Chains A and B, each alone.
Chain A
Amino acid sequence: MAEQVSGRTLGMGEIVDTGAKPFELAPFGTELAQLGKERTEIVGLTADMGRYSDILPFRDAHPERFFNVGVAEQSLIMTAAGLAKAGKISYCTSYSAFITRRAYDFVAIACAHALAEVKIFAGMPGFMNGYGATHQATEDISMMRGIADLTVIDPCDATELKQVVRAVADIPGTVYVRNLRGKVPVELGADYRFIPGKAQVIHEGQSVGVIGTGFMSARARDAAKVAAEHGVSAAVLHVSTLKPFDKDGVIAFAKRFDRLVVTENHKISGGLCTLVVEALYEAGLMKPMVKVALADSFFECGAQAWLEHKYGIDLPRLVQAIVEGR
């Protein structure tokens, strides 16, 4: 599937607002191929989603350490766990929807419960696939953060994703990463450093505090710049690690603002919005809040930009939330 956005062809599962921004091609697989040269214990796996998960650069660099188990997500996770229990670090890929919904028990028991060194790079999470309910993992954060001893990360851009590829090798146990594929925008500065478990301010402002995760954090920053033209100053806190959740960081950030916007490429329930509400309530901190996230629903097929507009997670919706507080 290809879509016409901003005058160029958008590949399936690419971020809509790449637009004229600088981008990197296949940052996940490119970085993993390099890391694989440095660490020979790394193996790569896919369940027939090599092409669409960007892991092919690793396959080409290290064919003897790459395994395609076919269209079998349970097998993918079991095989990754077995390799890990025999001393490897298993990077495995498929679509987010298939790994989370179909292989959930395998991730929980074969991987997380055993503290197995399995690093799941889940493709096309949330609204990054226009194929409808089967392919749209709009509840993956909610599902995965329900598993104990599992780390959950939603990177913002190519810069952060490449750092996450390296960092997860040293985060003990099983890690679930929302992967970004194809032409991935470069949004964060060269001085940005991913710190596991730490939320970071990526844009400063005075009156509105925006809390985001994944590529929605970058979109929130774009929205904050538009909002400034309307006389509203907003800051953006990027929460890349959703589990463990940086409660203290979020509370300290929220205290600084009159009102808040929380945004994620995920359902409004069970993910970042829920985490923020829980943290603030426990801290006795009540602020007006607008949530820019997906409804509790199954969604249609369609071009990503159209879906994002219809279901209210696109740039104009974020600008409205920041400027008008509704």
Chain B
Amino acid sequence: MRRLMMRMASGKGEGYIAQGLAIADFLSAMYFHELRYDPADPHWPGRDRFVLSTGHYSIAFYACLAEAGMLQVEELPTYGLNGSRLPMSTFENVPGIEVCGGSLGQGLGQSVGMALAARLDRNGARVFSELSDGELQEGSTWEAAMSATTFKLDNLVALIDCNGIQADGAVHVAIEPVAEKWRSFGWDTREVDGNDLAALTEALAASREPDGAPKAIVMRTVPGKGIPTLEKRERAHFVRVGNDEWDDLTAEMEAHYHG
């Protein structure tokens, strides 16, 4: 997934590569361990829903959907190009993408609606709703958080990516302690290393508990994960990558995982 992302981003200056690399482990845990879906029938009504609220994580999401068999790998290089089906922020035009994610604070509330529908339909579907630490600053997030508890949606899992960055730099609004906030809103909450695949799959497995409470998994992730040079670079929404750096950084990543 990370290799696909590097190919998509190179030559374009950036493309939210730091966020994409940070969330790759989580998407892997989601799509290849927990989520119930059918690549041949992406609109299957009984599918689990994965709602990516942070639309700008699209670079990772497209790479993931390609690995999951819902997008052709050949289409990935069109990422961010004029007229592409794969813009830098997600739209509902691609199979597997449940909501348009660009306007932050809209994902969790829609997930509440989907979880209510799954309960009405008694189809056993669960809803996994990704959001970010920056997005916790949107008030609508907390409206939805209260709503999920009110409706006792134990088929809903909020996945909070805490990567410590937002558009203007480091997260500067006082959002900590994140996990305690979710607990106080009535969510069954776990906190994990969001780049530890084993910890993620374990937390996701624990989220299956039908105990009447919505579940929250607070994931601590590292922007640029997997490429030590990028992990150390300035914490920024758009990490700076020179045009001449992509090959070296990709080599560094290959060495990190396969060296």
The chain A residues found within 8 Å of chain B, CB to CB, are 43, 64-65, 67, 69-70, 72, 74-75, 77-88, 90, 105-106, 109-110, 113-114
Contact = CB atoms under 8 A, between A and B. Distances in A.
A74 B138 CA distance: 11
Given A85-B98, A109-B103, A114-B92, A78 B121 contact: no
Pairs A-B, 8 closest by C-beta atoms = A82-B113, A78-B109, A86-B117, A82-B110, A75-B143, A83-B113, A72-B143, A74-B140
Given A72-B147, A87-B45, A110-B100, 11 more contacts: A64-B120, A67-B116, A70-B143, A75-B146, A75-B147, A81-B110, A82-B114, A90-B113, A106-B106, A109-B103, A109-B106
Nearest to A73: B143
A114 B99 contact: yes
Contacts of B120: 43, 64-65, 88
B102 interface: yes
14 contacts: A70-B150, A72-B143, A72-B146, A75-B146, A78-B106, A78-B110, A78-B112, A78-B140, A79-B116, A82-B112, A83-B114, A86-B121, A110-B100, A114-B92
B32 interface: no
Contacts of B111: 82
A74 B110 contact: no
Contacts of B112: 75, 78-79, 82
Contacts of A84: 113
Contacts of A65: 120
Nearest to A79: B113
A105 B103 contact: yes
Interface in B90-125: 92, 98-100, 102-103, 105-106, 108-118, 120-121, 125
B151 A67 contact: yes
B121 A87 contact: yes
Nearest to B123: A86
Contacts of A75: 109, 112, 140, 143-144, 146-147
Given A70-B150, A83-B114, A88-B117, A78 B103 contact: no
Contacts of A74: 105, 109, 139-140, 143
B49 interface: yes
A86 B49 contact: yes
Contacts of A90: 113
B113 A85 contact: yes
B150 A78 contact: no
Contacts of A110: 99-100, 106, 109-110
B114 A85 contact: yes
Residue from A75, A84, A109 whose CB has the most chain B CB atoms within 10 Å: A75
Nearest to A113: B100
A79 B118 contact: no
Contacts of A64: 120
A88 B99 CA distance: 15
A106 B140 contact: yes
Contact of B113 (A72, A78, A105): A78
A39 B150 CA distance: 26
A82 B120 CA distance: 13
Contact of B116 (A77, A82, A106): A82
A213 to B, nearest CB: 30
A76 B158 CA distance: 19
Contacts of A69: 143, 147, 150
Contact of A109 (B102, B116, B146, B147): B102
A78 B109 CA distance: 5
Given A109-B102, A109-B106, A113-B100, A78 B144 contact: yes
Contacts of A80: 113
Interface in B120-146: 120-121, 125, 139-140, 143-144, 146
B99 A85 contact: yes
Contacts of B121: 86-87
Nearest to A71: B143
Interface in B193-239: none
A90 B110 CA distance: 12
Contacts of B106: 78, 105-106, 109-110
A84 B116 CA distance: 11
Contact of B114 (A86, A105, A106, A113): A86
B12 to A, nearest CB: 25
Given A72-B147, A106-B140, A79 B109 contact: yes
